[in-house]
C-alpha cells in the first residue's frame, strides 16, 4: 500500500471516501461535493451509516461518524472500507478529510483503514483481495500530514502483527516460532534479543516455566527483548504470557479447546508493542519478556500435587495444571525485576475465566500496587478504547493461596475471586516492586467481531501501552 498526502492531481477513477460528522453533515457535503448531497432520510452522518453515490463518473463513499466518535470507533469505521466495501475499490482510494478532523482523528482513521487489509484466510485456496499495490491519497488541511500518516502506518503494522500471532494456528505459532520472530524483528528494529533454550533456562533457575513445558514435544523458549534510547528517563518492563496452545495439561480442558491458540494474547501484545516502540523511536528504555511454552500432555507432563521450584526461590504446590499461565509469568516477572532496574512492571495475560465472569468482554481486569500506575492505565485505556477496571489486591485474598506443603499454591480451588487470587499469586513473585500492574485480558484479547465469522485476535494492549507510554513522555 502506497499512501501519499495532499497530491496535486486527484484521480477521478479512485474511490473517494468522505467522512461526515452528523452535526455539520450538510456543511461538509457542500464543501466537498459542491451540493448538499442525498436527502437526510438517506444519509445524515449518523454513526455507523454509509452511503455510496456516483458523481461525474467518480464513485463516492460517505461515512457517517455520528456526533463525537472515540478513537476506537473511528478506527473501526475506517477498517470497514477495505474489509466490507472492497467491491468499490479498484486501484486507488482517496481519503478526503474535512477540516474539522483533528490530528488524532486522522491517525485513528489511517490506522483503521490499514487494518482493513487484514484477513484471517491464511490457508484458503482463494485468497482475500490483495491491497499491496493499492494507492491511497490523503486529503487534509492539517500540517505535517505526512508524519501523521507514517506514524499511523507503524501503529497499524504492529497491530496486524499482534493479530497474526494470535490468529495463526498452533502448529505454526510455536515457542520456537515466537523466538525466531523476536530474532527477526530485533534485526529489523535494532533491538537486543536473547532466547533462552531449556539448558540456559535451567541455569537461570526458571523452574516453574520449564515445568509447564515438560509435557510438550515443542521446546519452550524464554524470550527477552531490549530497546534502549539515549535520551530515556524512564524504563518500562513488560511481561506477556506466551502459552502458544493450552490443553489444560492433565487437568485437561473439556470444552472450546480450539480457542486456546489465543492463550498467547499477552505475548502478542508485548511483542507488537516492543516493535512499535522501536519503530517510533520513543525516548524510553523498554525490556520485554515473553515466556513461551505449549501446555500439552505426555508421560513427562507435570502433575497435580507436584511441588516445583521457581526463579524467585519460592516452592509452588501445583493444584491445577490448567493454572499454568501464572507459573510462567511468575518466572518472567521475577527474572525481569531481579535482572533489570525497571521503573514500572506491567504484565498482560489471558489468565482467568473469572475476569470474563466479572467484566464480560468489555474490559480487562486491572490489578496494581501503585495508584498512579493504575490510574494511568485506566486513563490511557479510556482515551484509546482499550479499557480496564481495577480489582483489589487485599491481603486476605493472598491467604487463599497458602499451601501446607510449599511456599504457595498455584490455584485456590474455589469458585470465587479467581482473577484476584491469580493476581495475588503473581504479586508474590514481583519481589515487592513498588510499581507493578497486572492486566488480565482473557475477555478482550480474542473474541467475536464484525470482521470475521469466527473469534479472532484484537491486538488489545498495543494501543493501550503506546498511549500509556506517551502520556509519560
Residue 11 has a pLDDT of 78
Dist CA 427 CA 421 (whole Å): 10
Q: Give the pLDDT score at 1.
A: 87
Contact 419, 358 (CB under 8 A): yes
Q: Which residues, in sequence order, are CB contacts of 125 under 8 Å at separation 6+?
A: none
Mean pLDDT (whole number) for 29-58: 92
Residue 80 has pLDDT above 80, yes or no: yes
Strands of the sheet containing 307-308, edge to edge, are 307-308, 316-317, 408-409
Q: How many CB atoms lie within 10 A of CB 10?
A: 14
253 is catalytic: yes
pLDDT of residue 2: 86
pLDDT in tens, 238-259: 999 999 999 999 999 999 999 9
C-alpha–C-alpha distance, residues 179 and 176, integer Å: 5
User: Which residue in 366, 355, 350, 335 sits closest to 244, CA to CA?
Assistant: 350
Rounded mean pLDDT of 19-41?
92
Q: pLDDT at residue 9 above 80?
A: no
The more confident residue out of 143 and 306 is 306
User: How many beta carbons lie within 10 A of that of residue 28, not counting itself?
Assistant: 22
Query: pLDDT averaged over the chain?
Result: 96
pLDDT of residue 288: 98
Which of 2-11, 275-284, 309-318 is least confident? 2-11
**Based on C-alpha coordinates, what's the Rg of the chain?**
24
Q: How confident is the model at residue 36 (pLDDT cuts 50, 70, 90)?
A: confident
Whether pLDDT at 167 is above 80? yes
Greatest C-alpha distance within the chain: 80
Percentage, residues of the chain above pLDDT 90: 93
Residue 33: pLDDT over 80: yes
Active site residue 326: yes
CA distances from 319 to 336, 405, 415 (A): 26, 11, 14
pLDDT of residue 12: 77
pLDDT digits (tens, 9 = 90+) for 105-128: 999 999 999 999 999 999 999 988
What is the per-residue pLDDT for 37? Answer: 84
Instruction: Please say whether the beta carbons of 63 and 22 come within 8 A.
Output: no
pLDDT at 95: 97
pLDDT at 7 over 90: no
- Catalytic position from the list 16, 326, 387, 424: 326
pLDDT of 8 above 80: no
Choice among 8-17, 204-213, 306-315, 441-450 with the minimum mean pLDDT: 8-17
In this prediction, residue 241 carries a pLDDT of: 98
* Whether this model's pTM surpasses 0.95: yes
Walk me through the domains of the chain, giving residue ranges and CATH numbers: 2-139 (3.40.220.10), 157-471 (3.40.630.10)
Cα–Cα dist 327/79, whole Å: 37
Active-site residue, selected from the candidate residues 72, 172, 183, 253: 253
pLDDT at 294: 98
- How far apart CA 199 and CA 379 sit, in angstroms, is 42
Percent of the chain at pLDDT above 70?
100
**SS3 call for 135:** strand
Amino acid at each position: 500500500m502506497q499512501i501519499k498526502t495532499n497530491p496535486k492531481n486527484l484521480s477521478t477513477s479512485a474511490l473517494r471516501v468522505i467522512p461526515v460528522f452528523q452535526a455539520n453533515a450538510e456543511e461538509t457535503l457542500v464543501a466537498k461535493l459542491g451540493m448538499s448531497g442525498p436527502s437526510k432520510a438517506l444519509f445524515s452522518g449518523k454513526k455507523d451509516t454509509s452511503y455510496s453515490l456516483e458523481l461525474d463518473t467518480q464513485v463516492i463513499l460517505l461515512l457517517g461518524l455520528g456526533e463525537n466518535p472515540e478513537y476506537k470507533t473511528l478506527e473501526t469505521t475506517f477498517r470497514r472500507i477495505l474489509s466490507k466495501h472492497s467491491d468499490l475499490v479498484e486501484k486507488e482510494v482517496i481519503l478526503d478529510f474535512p477540516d474539522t478532523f483533528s490530528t488524532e482523528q486522522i491517525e485513528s482513521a489511517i490506522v483503521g483503514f490499514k487494518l482493513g487489509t487484514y484477513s484471517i484466510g491464511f490457508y484458503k485456496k482463494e485468497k482475500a483481495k490483495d491491497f499491496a499495490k493499492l494507492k491511497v491519497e490523503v486529503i487534509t488541511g492539517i500540517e505535517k500530514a505526512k508524519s501523521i500518516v507514517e506514524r499511523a502506518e507503524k501503529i497499524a503494522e504492529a497491530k496486524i502483527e499482534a493479530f497474526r500471532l494470535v490468529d495463526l494456528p498452533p502448529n505454526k505459532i510455536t515457542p520456537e516460532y515466537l523466538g525466531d520472530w523476536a530474532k527477526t524483528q530485533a534485526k529489523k528494529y535494532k533491538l537486543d534479543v536473547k532466547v533462552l533454550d531449556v539448558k540456559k533456562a535451567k541455569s537461570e533457575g526458571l523452574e516453574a516455566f520449564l515445568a509447564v513445558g515438560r509435557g510438550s514435544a515443542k521446546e519452550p523458549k524464554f524470550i527477552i527483548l531490549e530497546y534502549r534510547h539515549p535520551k530515556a528517563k524512564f524504563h518500562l518492563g513488560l511481561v506477556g504470557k506466551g502459552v502458544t496452545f493450552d490443553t489444560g495439561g492433565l487437568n485437561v480442558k473439556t470444552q472450546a479447546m480450539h480457542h486456546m491458540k489465543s492463550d498467547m494474547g499477552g505475548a502478542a501484545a508485548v511483542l507488537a508493542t516492543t516493535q512499535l516502540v522501536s519503530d517510533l523511536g520513543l525516548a524510553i528504555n523498554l525490556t520485554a519478556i515473553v515466556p513461551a511454552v505449549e501446555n500439552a500432555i505426555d508421560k513427562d507432563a507435570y502433575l497435580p500435587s507436584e511441588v516445583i521450584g521457581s526463579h524467585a526461590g519460592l516452592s509452588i504446590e501445583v493444584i491445577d495444571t490448567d493454572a499454568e499461565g501464572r507459573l510462567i509469568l511468575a518466572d518472567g516477572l521475577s527474572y525481569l525485576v531481579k535482572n533489570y532496574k525497571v521503573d514500572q512492571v506491567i504484565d498482560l495475560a489471558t489468565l482467568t475465566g473469572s475476569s470474563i465472569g466479572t467484566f464480560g468482554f468489555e474490559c480487562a481486569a486491572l490489578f496494581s500496587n501503585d495508584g498512579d500506575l493504575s490510574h494511568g492505565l485506566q486513563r490511557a485505556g479510556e482515551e484509546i478504547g482499550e479499557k480496564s477496571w481495577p480489582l483489589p489486591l487485599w491481603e486476605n485474598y493472598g491467604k487463599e493461596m497458602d499451601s501446607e506443603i510449599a511456599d504457595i499454591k498455584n490455584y485456590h480451588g474455589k469458585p470465587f475471586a479467581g482473577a484476584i487470587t491469580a493476581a495475588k499469586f503473581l504479586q508474590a513473585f514481583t519481589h515487592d516492586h513498588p510499581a507493578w500492574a497486572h492486566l488480565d485480558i482473557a475477555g478482550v484479547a480474542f473474541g467475536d467481531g464484525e470482521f470475521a465469522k469466527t473469534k479472532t485476535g484484537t491486538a488489545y494492549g498495543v494501543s493501550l501501552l503506546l498511549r500509556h507510554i506517551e502520556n509519560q513522555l
